[in-house]
Chains A and B, each alone.
Chain A
Amino acid sequence: MRRIIIIGATSAIAEATARLFAARGDALCLVGRDASRLAVIAADLGVRGAVRAATATLDVTDFAAHAAVLDEAERELGGLDTVLIAHGTLSNQSECETSVDALRREYDINALSVMALLTPIANRFAQQGFGDIAVISSVAGDRGRMSNYVYGSAKAAVTAFLSGLRQRLQKSGVNVLTIKPGFVDTPMTRDFPKGALWAQPDTIAQGIVKAIEKRRSVVYLPWFWLGIMGVIRSVPEFVFKRLRL
């Protein structure tokens, strides 16, 4: 049985992942900013088999509240061995091009809050000598593109942060997993026209659970994004800058 804390637990991808954990009989603490939706999800996970489905409210940009929430989760579950960080916002790129406040807010949510949460978590896991850290970054972090480089660069920061953390924690028996989904059909992408490259949250969830179990370092979900991003990364900058992506 795992004792899992999920930050951003109302996210479609996180909820689908939590169901897989619940069906295996894991214990979960769901953290998000909407208490009533968290309660609805917790009840569902209980029916599906979670031995425990606790909830805690947190706006991740309230940095001062992070430590208390982590303590609460640890108390509720009697310890922690797995963390999934899933919260995020798909930034309004054009707004961020004119408003520094918007830019900073997006970085707070998508980058800084993640690093801030990971700081105490990493220390706790290192100290206990075990644990699995899984964080949803994005393929968008693999290369900045004009259509969403604020979001993409925040995710890139998370990806780089995780690779360093992975090195640091690897001797302590703690695994760090970077999850890079491609296009996923969730509320975040509601207004996008969907095509063949799009995946359902459940598909991504299965990939996440498998990668955590196998203690993988980086996983592209679905797998074909590894190839797509390989190509995108390999385009020389003098060509890339002329593309409209």
Chain B
Amino acid sequence: MSGESWGRYPLARDQHLLALRDRAAALPAFTGTALPHGNGRSYGDSCLNDGGTLLCTRGLDRFIAFDPASGVLRCEAGVLLAEILELVLGQGWFLPVTPGTKYVTVGGAIANDVHGKNHHVAGCFSEHVLGFELLRSDGSRRWCSAQENPDWFAATVGGLGLTGLITWVELRLRRVRGPWLSVETHRFDSLAEFFPLAAASDRDYEYTVAWIDCAARGSALGRGHFIRANHAAASSGPGAPKRWLSLPLTPPFSLINRLNLRSFNALYFHRQQARVRHALSHYEPYFYPLDAIGRWNRIYGPRGFLQYQCVIPPQNAQAGMAELLQRIGASGSGSFLVVLKLFGERRSAGILSFPRPGATLALDFPNNGPDTFALLDQLDEIVAAAGGAVYPAKDARMSGARFRSYFPAWQTLQPFLDPKFSSGFWRRVTE
């Protein structure tokens, strides 16, 4: 319970933290506004509430029922995806959708309607949510599902925690034969090669994603590795890697800079000599490479960092991505892990759900002050011109005008907002 977000920027001031432990209890008394806070894996200020209260949900971490025959799980909203995996994998079940870290709560996954590398086949997290209980500050409780209170369901999935507290959830899991994936990695030499490779792969592979060398320029712009995978039926395979040590404290300056960034990306790109490589991988390094280093977010030093994730619709995707990568490359900023993926056609019920058809790019920027913010504003210009959007879960700085144009339906949420709930993000983009 630190009351921080993952980017460690911005840091909230005067936040009062209240730990919840009992899903049947009324909300504790609070002054000012309140906001549910899961595991703080959102990057910016959507899980922060300056001058208000955070209702910390990690203490709502009980399972309620699990049916190993149907894969239907009921649990409280503060249960981590990691805890679900630990429980169900041995019984032949897996998460239907998972983000790039397993240290998020079920409530957080719903409130941001998270997506994974299988968006093109499985859609968003909410598609697998059979229902949840929503507790409002007036004490009322509602069961929300596609059938019951569907309007509340649509407002709350992707609703950024603003419609009330999700207390418990019913989820449908997916079957797997074991913890392994068969993974194929293709090296590609330019952005133009990415799109046909991605389109072809999306037909036969459940998981597709590309890593991009954001330091490459000119004809190599957008080169990278395309990684596609399916769950494997293997009866044995590599074990889970050991968890490395956690970063015990924040170094006084960012350990990521222009120099090591360029060389790391080049090294990584050339690590694979062959064009195509096959491997059997344990699910942990495949889905959660960064989870191996605890608190890796501290590597960016005391000023924290910003993540930028946008989506650009199909017709403008290639040109838009090229423009973004050029701008980022020219700035010399950017990160080790730049991820590019095609979202599928499926739209979630969520009013504010981020995924929509097109290409999505995500990367980190060390917070170098005004230069970084100016660069991100330039990226916003490209995204807006291309008819795209930026992901609130990762945002700490987009302007209110941009948000409202990225999410034109935002006012539809108004009647469902809990009058006593608010967040730093929400005040920033709506006031």
Residues of A within 8 A of B (CB): 12, 36-37, 40-41, 43-44, 47-48, 185, 187, 190
B102 within 8 A of A: no
Q: Pick the contact of B62 from A12, A36, A40 — CB < 8 Å?
A: A40
Q: Please indicate the chain B residues that have their CB under 8 angstroms from the CB of A36 in the complex.
A: 24
Verify B66–A187 contact, CB threshold 8 A: no
Q: In the complex, which residues 1-53 of chain B have their Cβ closer than 8 Å to any Cβ of chain A?
A: 1, 19, 21-24
Given contacts A40-B24, A47-B87, A185-B1, 9 further A-B contacts (CB under 8 A): A36-B24, A40-B62, A41-B62, A43-B63, A44-B62, A44-B63, A47-B65, A187-B21, A190-B19
Question: How long is the Cα–Cα vector from A187 to B18 in the complex, in angstroms?
Answer: 11
Verify A48–B24 contact, CB threshold 8 A: no
Q: Please indicate the chain A residues that have their CB under 8 angstroms from the CB of B82 in the complex.
A: none
For B75-96 the 0/1 string (1 means CB < 8 A from A) is 0000000000001000000000
Verify A44–B19 contact, CB threshold 8 A: no
19 interchain pairs (CB within 8 A)? A12-B21, A36-B24, A37-B24, A40-B22, A40-B23, A40-B24, A40-B62, A40-B64, A41-B62, A43-B62, A43-B64, A43-B65, A44-B64, A47-B63, A47-B65, A47-B66, A48-B87, A187-B19, A187-B21
Question: How long is the Cα–Cα vector from A99 to B90 in the complex, in angstroms?
Answer: 55
**In the A-B complex, the 10 residue pairs with the closest CB atoms:** A47-B63, A44-B62, A44-B63, A47-B66, A43-B64, A40-B62, A36-B24, A37-B22, A47-B65, A48-B63
A189 CB → nearest B CB, Å: 11
Q: Please indicate the chain A residues that have their CB under 8 angstroms from the CB of B87 in the complex.
A: 47-48
Q: Please indicate the chain A residues that have their CB under 8 angstroms from the CB of B24 in the complex.
A: 36-37, 40
Q: Please indicate the chain B residues that have their CB under 8 angstroms from the CB of A187 in the complex.
A: 19, 21
Q: Please indicate the chain A residues that have their CB under 8 angstroms from the CB of B21 in the complex.
A: 12, 187
Question: How long is the Cα–Cα vector from A190 to B17 in the complex, in angstroms?
Answer: 10
Chain B, Cβ-Cβ closest to A42: B62
Chain A, Cβ-Cβ closest to B63: A47
Q: Please indicate the chain B residues that have their CB under 8 angstroms from the CB of A44 in the complex.
A: 62-64
Q: Please indicate the chain B residues that have their CB under 8 angstroms from the CB of A47 in the complex.
A: 63-66, 87
Q: Please indicate the chain B residues that have their CB under 8 angstroms from the CB of A12 in the complex.
A: 21
Question: How long is the Cα–Cα vector from A47 to B19 in the complex, in angstroms?
Answer: 24
Q: In the complex, which residues 353-385 of chain B have their Cβ closer than 8 Å to any Cβ of chain A?
A: none
Chain A, Cβ-Cβ closest to B168: A40
Question: How long is the Cα–Cα vector from A43 to B23 in the complex, in angstroms?
Answer: 14
B127 CB → nearest A CB, Å: 24
Question: How long is the Cα–Cα vector from A41 to B63 in the complex, in angstroms?
Answer: 9
Residue of A12, A47, A185, A190 with most chain B CB atoms under a 10 A cut-off: A47
A130 CB → nearest B CB, Å: 31
A196 CB → nearest B CB, Å: 11
Q: Please indicate the chain B residues that have their CB under 8 angstroms from the CB of A40 in the complex.
A: 22-24, 62, 64
Chain A, Cβ-Cβ closest to B62: A44
